[in-house]
Amino acid sequence: MWKVKELLVYDEVGLFRGKDEHGFRKVDYLVKITEMSLGDLSQESAKSIRRWYITESKNYHWRLTACYFECLRRGKQKVFHRRHEYLMYDEKVKAAKLR
């Protein structure tokens, strides 16, 4: 639980308070990602980035932010940034093919 408290230090605006769009506590998601291996966290980050990019919904933005803060807490921001850059490039390529 101390890992989650470290993550909450970054939460100055209350992004992780309350429940998500499915009625689950956001803190439970924080516990989940703090217990993930780095590989699993990388995949979760990719999933959150893709969902946010496709829907542009703030329902996924808080998850994306949580993944970034967890990478930051571990000192592995590059993992998140690489996923973000790869997925944004991939989405731009897909969009170009549809034109």
- For every residue of 17-84, DSSP letters joined together read SSB-TTS-BHHHHHHHHHTS-HHHHHHHHHHHHHHHHHH--HHHHHHHHHHHHHHHHHT-HHHHHHHH
Looking at residue 33, what is its pLDDT? 92
36 — pLDDT class (breaks 50, 70, 90) = very high
**What are the backbone dihedrals phi and psi of residue 19, each rounded to the nearest 5 degrees, phi first?**
-120, 160
Which residue has better confidence, 63 or 6? 63
What does the pLDDT look like over 43-94, one tens digit per residue? 898 888 888 777 776 677 888 888 888 888 889 888 888 877 777 666 665 6
